[in-house]
Amino acid sequence: MGARQEAVLNRDELLLARRLGDYAAHAPVAAMLSGLSAMIACAIAPSELMAMWHALCGIWLLAIGAVSTLRVLHAGRIEPDTIDFGYIRRQARKAEALAYADAALWALGLSFIASMLDPSTRVTVNILITGMLATAAIRLRSMPRIGIALTLAFVAGGTASTALRGDPVDFVNVPIMLFYATVVLYCFRADAAAYEARFNAEFAVSESAETIRLLLHDYEAQSADWLWRVDHSGCLVGVCDRFGEAASMPRPELEGKELVSLFRHGPAREHLSHRLLRREPFRDLTLELATRDDDPLGGRWWMLSASPREDGTIRGVARDVTATRRTEQRVAYMAHHDGLTGLANRFLFGETLAGQLARQRKGDSCALLYLDLDHFKTINDTLGHSCGDLLLTEAARRITSKVKGHDLVARLGGDEFAVLLTRFRDAEEALAVADRIVGAITDPFRIEGQKLHISTSVGVAFYKGQGGNSDDLLRQADLALYAAKARGRACFAQFEPWMEDRERERAALEADLRNAIKQGQFALHFQPLVNIDTGEVAGFEALVRWEHPTMGVVMPGEFIPIAEDTGLIVPLGEWIMRNAIAQAAGWPGGQRVAINLSPIQMRSPRLMSQLVTAIAHTGIDPARIELEITENVLMQESEANVALLHKLRELGVRISLDDFGTGYSSLNYLRSFPFDKIKIDKCFVADLEKREDCQAIIRAVTSLAGTLGMDTVAEGVEREEQLDWLRAAGCTEVQGYYISYPFNVEELSDGRPFDSECERWRASIRRLPSAA
Ligand code: C2E
Ligand code: CA
Ligand code: CA
């Protein structure tokens, strides 16, 4: 049954079409049999019969021949697969009409031929008829009416010839003939019923098959999946429309194409090819289509499942999983990359580095550059995060532009970057890259119309198969970075083993520091601040010392950063404040005490109460307390800190700006808070005589401070010439080794009275020619 015919014709019409088709297949043989039988029947007729009989015989034979020829021609022209039911009905009628004509000719022929024959030839005719009936029963089962007509024609012919001959012996044959004819007719009917039943069964099957086909079609059209089939050599056959659409290829082009050739080379394609070759089923195999897609996220992806069939083909389903795949890729990308700069993130960098070290062969080397932007936090805090983000993005671009394509650049977080160099001739070449990056970041940045200056420090560590893992290498680079920062930033430093020793010492110090406060290992030294004109000791700066049980005196430059990193600066700072105020309360001259405040202490909510308690305990005049803060305090969380400074000021204490000129954009900070005093950093004082830029800065600061009503202190005065120059510049106070080293008041008091020392310091100023 053709699919189109089934869709158009109903069951009865289809049955007739089937009958006609079967008839057309067998009718030529039946017609030829009829003609042949007619010739035999005529041939066995006795020759002594009269000429008239022979003429009749000839006519009959011609008529049978003509009808048979028409039947053969007609059967040959029948097209049973048409959906034109009118045609089918017409052809069926024509076929029946021709068959009836044939049957009628036989009935007529038998009645007169058989009546003329002698008994011996009559047997031959009977055999002929039996044979024709038997073949008709088999050949014409599709058209039972024709079979029945033929049977009835033979019965009629037989009965007529018996009657015509009038031989009583023959009359016995009539009931026998009638009996078998009845049996034959019954067989025709039964056979016809079976034929119809078989057709009905087939029809039912094909109808459900059609339903399934329609459902599948629907499934293909609606779902994201489509079906495919390949032959024994793995080439596509029966490609459906959806497949063509999905593959963006015309269907004829796909037909006969190797399925694997649609996909990109790789393990998945190998897998597919292997499975098809071995005719093994597989599920959910994801493959990338071999498209000419320049999308950086990759092309298109299909997921295939299939199982082999008994007919030698392999059938399967395919689904476009591009969207899922892209999402997966994006998620993976996001998990491995920094969202802001698009660089590799810490995770990917760590993995790559570990992989690189594991693959490292003898003689290979790689270099790790660890970068940290200097004072980036200030930019973020003062200019806002969006500006900070733009700066980071531009910094990332500049770093990337200074390395080769195969080098990995990563943002490890915040303002930290890392570069992994794997192919370089020698250490010099790798260090040159570090130098180029430092240079690239030093160039001014143009962000949102502003010109910004920033720099980077870089730590470099090499791996030459010395053992250790990626964490060790990262730590070494970090130590080198620390060294670069210590060297004044905007430079690079290469890791050296002593850095590790120092780090170990630092770790040991950190451990010891935790107990040092409890065990009373700290002492305060004081350094006088002297009025530059009168020589009066205006006050003393408290400088902490750690009297380490085994290492001796440890200077604050070494342990204060550790105390700040660990938060220990808060209890230590409290101890310093309590002690400094307590000691100052006992000074006979009523001089001021300057106490250094770390930015970390400023964050402590206990700071205010500690100060209030210390003042209350000693009864000291708050105006004698000077708190020294650095520019960092204003750079970080500036608003909260400025508010805190105002509150401290309300207590009556004085606030000094320490290390002025070393911070980020100094003069701005003078406007953010009305300081009582500015301490010019010793770095400007050190080369004062030789460097005009230092002189210019000091002059600017003193004159600005004068206008704003602030005192100025020059730190680190070590020589007479410096003092001279500073006095001329209008500086109010000086502090430095020239006047006095920091000293322990308790030790001093043992031998010499505190007052007489102050007199000595005053004298040291008075002795100067200009003051005389
Ligand atoms: P600073 O606040 O700038 O302290 C002045 C530093 O300069 C002191 O070093 C002092 O001994 C040194 N100095 C004084 N006169 C001269 C001189 O003529 N030439 C030279 N080259 N140096 C001179 P020190 O005591 O080693 O302290 C270093 C830093 O440690 C201090 O710098 C301060 O930032 C910090 N520090 C010291 N004591 C404390 C403290 O009690 N609390 C906090 N938070 N920080 C402290
Ligand atoms: Ca200070
Ligand atoms: Ca200072």
The contacts of residue 39 (CB under 8 Å, 6+ apart) are: 61
For ligand 1, say whether the CB of 658 is within 6 Å of any of its atoms. yes
For ligand 1, say whether the CB of 677 is within 6 Å of any of its atoms. no
Q: What is the pTM of this model?
A: 0.56
Do residues 564 and 510 touch, judged by C-beta distance below 8 A? no
pLDDT at res. 1: 56
For ligand 1, say whether the CB of 536 is within 6 Å of any of its atoms. no
Nearest CA to ligand 1 atom 43: 596
- Distance (angstroms) between ligand 3 centre and the Cα of 716 equals 8
Query: Could you identify the atom of ligand 1 that is nearest to the CA of residue 742?
Result: 11
Q: Could you tell me which residues are beta bridge partners of residue 544?
A: 524
For ligand 1, say whether the CB of 598 is within 6 Å of any of its atoms. yes
For ligand 1, say whether the CB of 560 is within 6 Å of any of its atoms. yes
pLDDT at res. 768: 47
Band of pLDDT at residue 638, cut at 50, 70 and 90:
confident
What ligand is nearest to the CA atom of residue 576? 1
Report the distance separating Cα 621 and Cα 591, nearest Å.
11
Residues 50-71 pLDDT 10s: 677 778 888 888 999 999 999 9
Residues 449-496 pLDDT 10s: 889 999 999 999 999 888 788 999 999 999 999 999 989 899 999 999
Query: Could you identify the atom of ligand 1 that is nearest to the CA of residue 527?
Result: 14
Q: What ranges make up the beta strands (E) of 351-505?
A: 366-374, 408-413, 416-421, 445-447, 450-452, 455-463, 492-494
Q: Which conformational region is residue 266 in: left (phi greater than 0), alpha (psi within -120 to 50 degrees), or beta?
A: left
For ligand 1, say whether the CB of 659 is within 6 Å of any of its atoms. yes
Pairing of strands 366-374, 455-463: antiparallel
Give rounded-to-5 percent helix, strand, coil for the chain. 60, 15, 25
Cα-based distances in Å from 729 to 416, 496, 713, 723, 770: 42, 44, 12, 10, 13
**Sign of the torsion angle spanned by Cα atoms 328, 333, 338, 341:** negative
The three-class DSSP label of residue 405 is coil
For residues 266 and 126, the model is more confident at 266
Report the distance separating Cα 505 and Cα 560, nearest Å.
14
Place of tokens 């039964």: 190
What ligand is nearest to the CA atom of residue 656? 2
| Chain Cα centroid distance, residue 118 | 101
Cα-based distances in Å from 653 to 165, 615, 622, 629, 649: 158, 10, 5, 13, 5
Instruction: Report residue 29: phi and psi, to 5°.
Output: -65, -45
- Distance (angstroms) between ligand 3 centre and the Cα of 224 equals 73
For ligand 1, say whether the CB of 558 is within 6 Å of any of its atoms. no
Structure tokens at 304: 């295939």
Residues 24-57 pLDDT 10s: 888 888 888 888 888 888 887 666 666 777 788 8
The contacts of residue 155 (CB under 8 Å, 6+ apart) are: 177, 178, 181
What radius of gyration do the chain's Cα atoms show? 57
What ligand is nearest to the CA atom of residue 681? 3
For ligand 1, say whether the CB of 475 is within 6 Å of any of its atoms. no
Query: Could you identify the atom of ligand 1 that is nearest to the CA of residue 597?
Result: 44
Do residues 525 and 556 touch, judged by C-beta distance below 8 A? no
Lowest mean pLDDT among 71-85, 589-603, 713-727: 71-85
pLDDT at res. 132: 79
Mean pLDDT of the chain: 87
Q: Which of 596, 598, 683 to mutate to test the pocket of ligand 1 (most atoms within 8 A of CB)?
A: 596
Do residues 662 and 694 touch, judged by C-beta distance below 8 A? no
Nearest CA to ligand 1 atom 7: 716
Structure tokens at 252: 């004829």
Count of positions (residues) in the chain: 772
For ligand 1, say whether the CB of 630 is within 6 Å of any of its atoms. no
Q: If you average pLDDT over each of 21-25, 31-35, 110-114, 366-370, which comes out highest?
A: 366-370
Cα-based distances in Å from 130 to 46, 495, 547, 590: 21, 115, 137, 153
- Distance (angstroms) between ligand 3 centre and the Cα of 458 equals 27
Q: In the predicted model, is pLDDT for residue 313 greater than 90?
A: no
For ligand 1, say whether the CB of 741 is within 6 Å of any of its atoms. no
What ligand is nearest to the CA atom of residue 680? 3
Do residues 340 and 411 touch, judged by C-beta distance below 8 A? yes
What ligand is nearest to the CA atom of residue 543? 1
Query: Could you identify the atom of ligand 1 that is nearest to the CA of residue 601?
Result: 44
Q: In the predicted model, is pLDDT for residue 772 greater than 70?
A: no
- Distance (angstroms) between ligand 2 centre and the Cα of 581 equals 16
301-312 average pLDDT score: 86
Q: In the predicted model, is pLDDT for residue 247 greater than 80?
A: yes
pLDDT at res. 297: 47
pLDDT at res. 178: 85
For ligand 1, say whether the CB of 576 is within 6 Å of any of its atoms. yes
For ligand 1, say whether the CB of 682 is within 6 Å of any of its atoms. yes
Cα-based distances in Å from 628 to 631, 656, 676: 10, 5, 10
Report the distance separating Cα 610 and Cα 529, nearest Å.
25
